Structure 1
């Protein structure tokens, strides 16, 4: 009702802001959320504080939106040459570049203030690294064929932050989870890069999909296998039980399904393989929660 009462131009403006921040496409937030929850639940031995749960849930959505704003700012001139992105609000001129920068800074500031006001000094120190990674990632595709690695670091930085907020410490388990998530992110974002590979080649944008060429699926499979192995190591070190390992097994089965989907390297199929990773992360989280609930 409130939306219908707004003038048409304001409705259009808000819709464009929503598209810029990907409010209509929550997949990125979910892929960031599940590993953050892994860390919170493990660090708290199955009982994370309500405050930390709220802070990091909000932080995930705010920082993912901020990352989308700065990503579109960085790509505003090249997106017009990519079929999937040519109609984005910033690329088409419906939103100005300064507005994207302002949104990035505003959302990052809100996230930073939540950390300052409601967590501990260790989490605060780590938060600076998170903001830096979120800012530099979008520009890496111009300088290296490994922008997916930078995205992996950015998407994984919530793991040590969440762990520090809950336990006020970092352990070997923290960095095992971090490593697993970096590798997982590189794998699924390579599927995503395969969707745009033809366009990226024409305009000179770099990615792991271009770097790997015909070896893309093999390397993705290798990375996925490493993720499973490291998560098994996490379960062993944390003395987790059957439910957790069933969650990891479900992730492994979904990885095999993703390889099947992308076997012909078709755009839509590769995108479906990318989207399927939401369920892989959810499977591990579900297994972890159930396991930690069992006495």
Structure 2
């Protein structure tokens, strides 16, 4: 049997296979990697796929490179897990002071610090093996993300907008898809990256509404606390920047009508989130945050259709 307090965290997917079927001894490590919360790797993966989709449109290919998309999927799962493990190692003193995080494997004692470090190394190795499958330029670009990833867990201690640093890290795939396809970067890929950063800041501000009271007690800084009563305005600015920068990227890449239709649906989805923000509803904030997977997939699907029509 699992020890008391070893059950899934409040924001985990109920009945996830990692909690039902995985060997008991492995479950704390899977939770350390947030396997039972797949939304994280989806949100890390989507900018990669967007970038691969945009590259396919520009190259005149009928679809994004399937091998690249598969590698991005494996890499997203591995590196999201590694990032969460690293974050928990750094934050183990803070997590025990926040209701939603005190039952995480490290602060609750389910995993030792040595075990967490070994698991971090294993996940990073998988990520490295994935990265080495790309061209040399993409490999260099991929390594460039490590500095931002390493910096993020410390930002909430002194920077009121740590979500900006999270956005810089979580959006890196918007550069990788293009780098893998072309062996270079372009204005379109950089604009796509900037749009993704704004998107991440917006949706993670919504996510941070779950912890706003505990964060105040623990002295943890977040964009949700920074915006305060004006959180809807703050998220609205982020989402408006997302759409504006995405339009600029699409113009630069000379995409077709399907991509713009997808972007319109994406914008409507973000607007729906904005209208439903409630600072007092933590469960609702989690639902809105998770819905960004669907928003991102809508946009990617539209880009795939655009590439297919152009490549015919």
Residues 209-262 of structure 1: CA deviation (Å, up to 9, x unaligned): 111111211011011011112212222222222221121111111112112221
> Partners in 2 of 1:34 and 1:288 — Cα distance?
12
Q: What is the aligned counterpart of 1:77 among 83, 87, 93?
A: 93
Residues 144-187 of structure 1: CA deviation (Å, up to 9, x unaligned): 11210111010111221221111111000010000000000000
Q: What is the aligned counterpart of 1:146 among 161, 164, 178?
A: 161
Computed over aligned residues only, the root mean square deviation of the Cα atoms, in angstroms, reads 1.7
What's the offset of the Cα at 1:195?
A: 1.0
> Partners in 2 of 1:270 and 1:114 — Cα distance?
33
Q: What is the aligned counterpart of 2:103 among 87, 92, 109?
A: 87
Looking at both structures, which has the greater relative contact order when contacts are Cα pairs under 8 Å and sequence separation is at least 6? 2
Task: For 1:95-174, list aligned pairs within 5 A.
Answer: 95-116=111-132, 118-174=133-189
> 1:50/1:256 Cα in 2 relative to 1: closer, same or farther (>3 Å)?
closer
Q: What is the aligned counterpart of 1:66 among 82, 85, 88?
A: 82
> Partners in 2 of 1:156 and 1:148 — Cα distance?
12
What's the offset of the Cα at 1:264?
A: 4.8
Look up the match of 1:6. Answer: none
Q: Does 1:23 align with 2:38?
A: no
> Partners in 2 of 1:12 and 1:270 — Cα distance?
31
What's the offset of the Cα at 1:143?
A: 2.2
Q: Does 1:43 align with 2:47?
A: no
Q: Does 1:286 align with 2:301?
A: yes
Where structure 2 has 5 or more consecutive residues not aligned to the other structure, the ranges are 1-21
Residues 26-56 of structure 1: CA deviation (Å, up to 9, x unaligned): 0011111111101112123343333322222
Q: Does 1:207 align with 2:219?
A: no
* TM-score (normalizing by structure 2): 0.87
> Is contact 1:159–1:178 with CA below 8 Å preserved after alignment?
yes
- Which is richer in helix? 1
* Aligned pairs, number: 286
Task: For 1:123-272, list aligned pairs within 5 A.
Answer: 123-272=138-287
Where structure 1 has 5 or more consecutive residues not aligned to the other structure, the ranges are 1-9
> Is contact 2:50–2:177 with CA below 8 Å preserved after alignment?
no
> Partners in 2 of 1:244 and 1:52 — Cα distance?
20
Residues 82-127 of structure 1: CA deviation (Å, up to 9, x unaligned): 12112111110010122222222221222123323x2222112112
> Partners in 1 of 2:307 and 2:232 — Cα distance?
34
> Partners in 2 of 1:183 and 1:224 — Cα distance?
7
What's the offset of the Cα at 1:290?
A: 0.9
> Partners in 2 of 1:86 and 1:92 — Cα distance?
6
Classify the secondary structure of the residue corresponding to 2:96.
helix
> Partners in 2 of 1:127 and 1:259 — Cα distance?
32
